[in-house]
Chains A and B, each alone.
Chain A
Amino acid sequence: MRPLPALRLLAGPALAGGLLVLVVAASATAGDPPATGGSATDAEPAWYAVVQATPTPAIPLESAPPLPTPIAHPGDASATGCVDCHDQVDNKQAAIAEDWRSSIHAKEGVGCADCHGGDPRSDEITVGMAVANGFQGVPGREETVGVCGGCHANAERMRPYQIATDQYSKYFSSVHGQRLLTANDTKVAICIDCHGSHGVKPASDPTADVYPLNVPDLCASCHADAEKMEPYGIPTDQFEVYKLSVHGRQLLDEQDLRAPTCTSCHGSHAAQPPRSDTVVDVCGKCHTATQALYEESAHSRLPAVGPKCWTCHGTHDVTEPDERLFLHEGGVPDYLCATCHSPTDQSLRLELDQFEQESDRRCDTCHHERSVIYSQVEAIAGAIGGAASAYDAALFRIDEAAALGMIVADAEVAAAEAKTGLIRARAAVHTTKLAAISAITKETVDKAAAAEAIANAKLDDNTFRRQAMVVVIAIIALNVLVLMGLRRRLHAPG
């Protein structure tokens, strides 16, 4: 960083007795902050530096236990001794046998003995289920992951199916696996809780619980259960909140598989909440272009503790972003310094739980009215708002013309260009660079104005048509009057 010729201290006397220590260094040449309403610059935003807190270090993970060897047994998948007998036992056993028959395992030659041991060649209980023949019964929950992993972590075994073999190690890196390992908590999700035990289906099967469209319901079957979650002290409203989010509506209502399901952000086998130092990459997996823009911003240079995607957009409750995200309507509430700063050393620390309420996710929650950057936020909000208004105005006129039956295809093309500009401008907000955003919004306003002009011309044309219609009807009426006169004369007596 080049030397800074001037330093300005914006400190907290006005903010709760000086708890805030925000050091703003201003460059007299390239980068005066736009606090005075002057033109902003998108040059290296070196005019401020913020005392940053050290990110909370990640807790070291317990290593996965050694991978058990697959269960050895005589016979192969063609041996049907187990199901032949269990079909006859009772309805429950018959249903288990039927589940297995419909499973991917049955199709691929994985039989009962692969998980339970024993001798599948015999339908005699004393032979097939004899401990002497290797019968192990139902694996305990703490053993199940190893039973599945025995095959699924075996690259050679999985080679024909071209599926991943890292589920075992991933599972033990997950919140679920870590609790199983460290606390021997067998209530956490294990393989069979998501995939089923006997009726295992591939994730590509739309009837599988692990099919992306069904995943939110699957996760909610535990995570929305207050009783199950009570020991862990975690919220249970994620599913209800997600369902109403832009992601949830797109996935569940529109059945759009491109939309993220729970596992898209949390991982499936390695399930755990994203951390503040990973969340940008998690969101960026889909929002690639936005991530690139964000990484140009001053925000991105505040690692871990700085504003991340969720600071403005939330987590499970992501809604369609619009201009309301800039500034509080009707004034900024009296936020505590601790909203953005560490209560102990006043360093910047944007904790997720401080921004749980949607109404708190505004630029001026941090960039309060007396801050240097507030005016820049205002300018960006104004630029985006102006472009959005121009676009809305064009759409309104186009709708008006369309409602009158006018062909508005050309106006719609022009409006689509304006919409593209608006999307680009909104995305560019992630850069926090006013000049770059303003350039795009100006272009957008021009395009919207062009679309509106086309729509206005159509409205004028429609007015002309209606006026002409009145004239034509008047001429017709005149002709009819003449004909009526002729008719009267024709029928006149004599």
Chain B
Amino acid sequence: MTTDAPTRAPLGGPIGWIENRLHLGPFIGALLHVRVPADAKTFYLGGITLFLFGIQVVTGTLLALYYSPTPDAAYESVLSITSDVQFGWLIRSIHHWTANLMILSLILHVIRIFVQGAYKYPREATWLVGGGLLMLTIGFGFTGYLLPWDQRAYWATVVGTEIAGAVPLIGPPLLLLLRGGPDVTDATLARFFGIHVLVLPLLIGALIAIHLLFVHQQGLANPKRPDPRPGRPGPDLSAEKTKPFFPDYILDELIAWYAVLTALVVLATIFPAGLEAKADPLITPEHIKPEWYFLGVYELLKLVPETVGVVAPIALVLVIVILPLLDRNHEVRPRRRPIAIGLATLLLVGLGVLTVLGGRS
């Protein structure tokens, strides 16, 4: 029998075995074989965040095998993970430091996108989904912080949920919803655990998929020019230098991941995750401080009336999320967006100062 269709040489080995059955080659090819602007400067931050998320999935799963989410057993189980379980200290420390680095890389990623104007046409939706990812990641940090059930965890959650309770209108029911009652109790621990290991992973998984799909469809932004809009005169793209995503970009990304992994190994070894005294609702520690990424809001609350201190960060987040709708300037080069860059710099300096003040107090 003859056919006009081109014949392919059959593949051997396990890859061939799969390919002959699922024909994934074209799909994977479409994913990998795209070109990115040679001028694109991502600093690999998005990829690094994805890598860190992967580490969290693995280490979090391992921790869940030993963790008991009840007030009677949570602290002891974390103590056991850290002291008794083989390499438990390493898994927990990596999970702890990865959480911090993930927030840091996300913040840097957001700054990079902002400075390069990569949230503008056609990437508004990608920015929006990214905002959701940032919120979910902070949610991971907030819910995960309680799980060791030590004094620091307990009281940071008491203060954190109280801040949520101060949100105008929805505050009181939000506080009850978060705590599962008027106080931080076993109900709080159970729902924070459930949210941390079920709700947030499902949501973040879906949003990551959408975010990556968008990025894939739109390609990387060129920081030197805006994307051409349909029906409008645009730059001549034929002369623009590009490079293959695979293997060139992936190779660089992989090296960046290794650098981050090195940082993680060093941090986890030199500064392993600690554990304070077991949570005691009757003993309020002298100094309660939240994680570093909440310190700015924490300090702001000390300086301004409570309502302002709670509403201002929420308003700020909303403004950031709908930024593509507010900023109609097509220009992407920072030098030509002095107002946007100036405002962002002010905001970052303000947040930085508040964070440092919060850390010192």
Contact = CB atoms under 8 A, between A and B. Distances in A.
Interface string A472-489: 110011011001101100
B224 to A, nearest CB: 21
Contacts of B262: 473, 476-477
A286 interface: no
B274 A469 contact: no
Interface string B252-291: 1011001101100110011110110000000000000000
Contacts of B181: none
Contacts of B272: 405-406, 465
A409 interface: yes
Contact of B254 (A468, A469, A477, A483): A483
B220 to A, nearest CB: 18
B252 to A, nearest CB: 7
A443 B83 CA distance: 27
Contacts of A477: 262
A487 B243 CA distance: 13
B251 A465 contact: no
Interface in A180-224: none
Contact of B83 (A407, A468, A472): A407
Contacts of B248: 487, 490-491
Contact of A409 (B259, B271, B275): B275
B247 interface: yes
B82 interface: yes
A486 to B, nearest CB: 6
The bracket for how many chain A residues form the interface is 20 to 34
A484 B251 CA distance: 8
Contacts of B259: 480
The bracket for how many chain B residues form the interface is 20 to 34
B341 to A, nearest CB: 33
B79 interface: yes
B266 A407 contact: no
Given A405-B274, A410-B83, A480-B255, A465 B247 contact: no
Given A407-B79, A490-B251, A479 B258 contact: yes
Contacts of A465: 89-90, 269, 272
Nearest to A406: B272
A466 interface: yes
B251 A483 contact: yes
B254 A473 contact: no
Contacts of B258: 476, 479-480, 483
Nearest to B273: A405
Nearest to A402: B274
Nearest to A405: B272
Contacts of B270: 405, 466, 469
Residue among B248, B269, B270 with the highest chain A CB neighbour number at 10 A: B269
Interface in A382-421: 405-407, 409-410
Contacts of B274: 405, 407
A469 B266 contact: yes
B336 to A, nearest CB: 32
A472 B94 CA distance: 14
Interface string B70-106: 0000000001001100000110000000000000000
A479 B257 CA distance: 11
A127 B160 CA distance: 68
Contacts of B269: 465-466, 468-469
Nearest to A458: B83
A486 B254 CA distance: 12
Contacts of A469: 265-266, 269-270
A148 B251 CA distance: 94
A491 B82 CA distance: 45
A483 B259 CA distance: 12
A484 B265 contact: no
A477 B270 CA distance: 19
Interface string B146-178: 000000000000000000000000000000000
Interface string A47-78: 00000000000000000000000000000000
Nearest to B274: A405
A218 to B, nearest CB: 30
B251 A487 contact: yes
A409 B265 contact: no
A480 B79 CA distance: 35
Contacts of A406: 272
A487 B252 CA distance: 8
Contacts of A407: 79, 82-83, 89, 274-275
B147 to A, nearest CB: 16
A405 B271 contact: yes
A487 B251 CA distance: 7
A409 B79 contact: yes
Contacts of A476: 258, 261-262, 265
25 contacts: A405-B270, A405-B271, A406-B272, A407-B83, A407-B89, A409-B275, A465-B272, A466-B269, A469-B265, A469-B266, A472-B265, A473-B265, A476-B262, A480-B255, A480-B259, A483-B251, A483-B255, A486-B247, A486-B251, A487-B248, A487-B252, A490-B247, A490-B248, A490-B251, A491-B248
- Lowest 7 CB-CB distances: which A-B pairs, in order? A469-B269, A405-B272, A480-B258, A407-B82, A465-B269, A487-B251, A407-B83
Given A410-B83, A473-B265, A483-B258, 10 more contacts: A405-B270, A406-B272, A465-B89, A465-B90, A465-B269, A469-B265, A472-B265, A476-B258, A487-B255, A491-B248
